[in-house]
Structure 1
Amino acid sequence: MAIMKWDHLVHYVNDLDKPVEIFGDHGLVAFKGGSHKDWGTYNALSYFGLTYIEFLGIENLELAKATEHNVVVRDAVKVLPGHEVLSRVVIRTDDIEETAASLKSAGLSLSPIIDGRRLDNEGRLIEWRMMTIDGDFQGLVYPFVIQWNGTDEERLERLTASGVIQSHPAGQAEIKKAIFRVSDPAAAAEHWGECFGLPIAQSEGNDTFTLKIGDQSFDFVQGDENQFKQVVFETDSIGLQGKSIHIGAGEYVFIEKATP
């Protein structure tokens, strides 16, 4: 069975300099990533271990409008420039063909498996394989799925050695939760859990339903938006604890690291 992990999240923005500057003001490293020359988009990135934030903007509108199969780009064209929103989470698999077969058997409509590539800010070619999922569940869009070359350990070593993954001046922080505000948290969590093979739990005393993905989680809470709204970090840094960073409609919240 394919192993699923939380790879990254996508946040649509108009100006890549803005999140880089805002994160920098809080002692968090973010930097220009590069261009998706086939899709007309470009990005800025901020890494917290292997889980990272991708701030995604439109570099070439006509090319983005002409993009087929990639619903992430199509959605960017729809919502920008008016709505700088958290788009979706991205799930990493170690076997994208097996994952595709499983999702198809669950009745989901998938793009073909796409060979993705972009140039980084030093002109180096970065490559991966991915597939997107069309449609939504009660208004909430699905994650997309990605597979990188090599093992997680190899990627961590390579990205650290190249300086892509580096320490944040403000201190250590880990991405722990994605918060989705949905009209029916139980149904949404159950559906995603069945589709992606993730275990589900209900928090005591409230209506939060949680899917565990490794040592991280996707939390579904009551709300009318049916959208990805918030990212929660755990941190040892006194300077970060209690902070909430807003970029467009997305919110990044920092809480004290839980004791084991």
Structure 2
Amino acid sequence: MKLDHIVHFTHTNPEASSKFWNEKGFHAITGGSHKNWGTQNALMYGPDYYVEWLTIEDESVAERSGHPLVEHLRHDQRGFGTVCLRSDNLDLLAKQIEGRGFRTIGPMDAERLTETGETIRWRLLFIDEPISSDLPLPFFIEWEEPDEARFAGLKQKGAITELNEGLRLEALVFSVENPAQSEARWSSLLGGGIDLENCHLVFEAGKGKERLREVRFESAEQEIVFEDGRYQAPRFG
């Protein structure tokens, strides 16, 4: 299974988020609005995943949405929230996960309206668990388009450039109270093993709220701190 995207909650609007990263030499874009959720985002793609900087656009809509990810955003406010893994069959995956002893929410339809007026659609599957200081389990996505067509379209639109294609992940590092216990829980959810096709998952001992602590890119030469999130990143330019 592959990492699809990293969700980083912010208080920064998408234009300012993308500007911050572009000024650092990266290529980030404004994503658009989730009208039914009251949220909006900025995005930075790698070759087969992306980072999403998600913020609230309309508090009243967000409060009414009841959406698991929006509720998580409203709880955490800022910092790394959770990660999303990609599937090509959420209905089958939901049955498999429930067979492993987990309760699920979904699959549910979702969409985003881009600044150019295009509607992008996908489906989501969540694990039914309370939002707390404990490390949240990942959620899952199934895109309307096959990966090959979706990434080709993103390249054509300029969302993925040659720079983005070189932005490969080394690891996602999670800070947890009991690394062995967290690793076992994730392994159980994923059907055995925790290494993804496009990055490693690392659980390290830490105190306080359990969350993703650090995103490590390959060939990292600098640390970038943005909205309570740490990125070990290469230098460009």
Residue 252 of structure 1 deviates from its aligned partner by: 0.7
CA distance in 1 between counterparts of 2:94 and 2:5 reads: 19
The aligned residue for residue 106 of structure 1 is: 100
- TM-superposed CA distance for 1:150, in Å, is 3.2
1:94 corresponds in structure 2 to: 88
Structure 1 gaps of 5+ residues are 200-210, 236-240
**Structural mapping, 1:15-54, within 5 Å:** 15-16=12-13, 17-54=15-52
Shift in Å at residue 154 of structure 1? 2.1
Give CA deviations for 1:149-196 in whole Å, capped at 9, x if unaligned: 233222221211122212339x93212311101111111111101111
Amino acid at match of 2:27: V
Give 1:18 deviation, angstroms: 3.5
Give the letter for the 1:158 counterpart: G
Contact 2:169 2:216 in 1 (8 A): yes
Question: For residue 230 of structure 1, what is the aligned residue in structure 2?
Answer: 214
Give, in whole Å, the separation in 2 of the partners of 1:221 and 1:46: 26
Query: In structure 1, what is the equivalent of residue 229 of structure 2?
Result: 250
Instruction: Report deviation, 1:138.
Output: 8.1
**Structure 1 residues 213, 75: closer, same or farther in 2, change over 3 A?**
same
Report the Cα offset of residue 21 of structure 1.
2.2
Indicate whether 1:8 and 2:2 are aligned: no
More helix, by proportion: 2
Q: TM-score, normalised on structure 1?
A: 0.83
Corresponding residue to 1:149 among 119, 124, 144: 144
The alignment partner of 1:102 has SS state of helix
Match of 2:112 in 1: 118
Aligned to 1:131: 125
Q: CA deviation at 1:78?
A: 2.1
Aligned to 2:127, the other structure's residue is in SS state coil
* 3-state secondary structure, aligned to 1:33: strand
C-alpha distance in 2 between matches for 1:29 and 1:166: 8
CA distance in 1 between counterparts of 2:29 and 2:157 reads 14
Q: Matches of 2:47 and 2:160 in 1, distance apart?
A: 7
Asked whether the equivalents of residues 27 and 168 of structure 1 are also in contact (C-alpha less than 8 Å), the reply is no
CA distance in 2, matches of 1:192, 1:51: 20
> What's the counterpart of residue 181 of structure 1?
175
Contact 2:169 2:198 in 1 (8 A): no
Aligned residues: 232
Whether the 8 Å contact between 1:35 and 1:41 is mirrored in structure 2 is yes
In structure 1, what is the Cα distance between the partners aligned to 2:72 and 2:27? 27
2:27 alignment partner, SS class? coil
Structure 1's consecutive aligned runs of 4 or more residues displaced over 6 angstroms after TM superposition are none
| TM-score, normalised by the number of residues in structure 2 | 0.91
Identity across aligned pairs (percent)? 28
Question: Partners in 2 of 1:123 and 1:158 — Cα distance?
Answer: 15
CA RMSD of superposed structures (Å): 2.0
Identify the range of structure 1 (29-38 vs 135-144) with the bigger mean alpha-carbon deviation.
135-144
Contact 2:47 2:166 in 1 (8 A): no
> Secondary structure at 1:213's aligned position in 2?
coil
AA aligned to 2:199 is Q
Question: Whole-Å Cα distance in 2 between the matches of residues 23 and 57 of structure 1?
Answer: 16
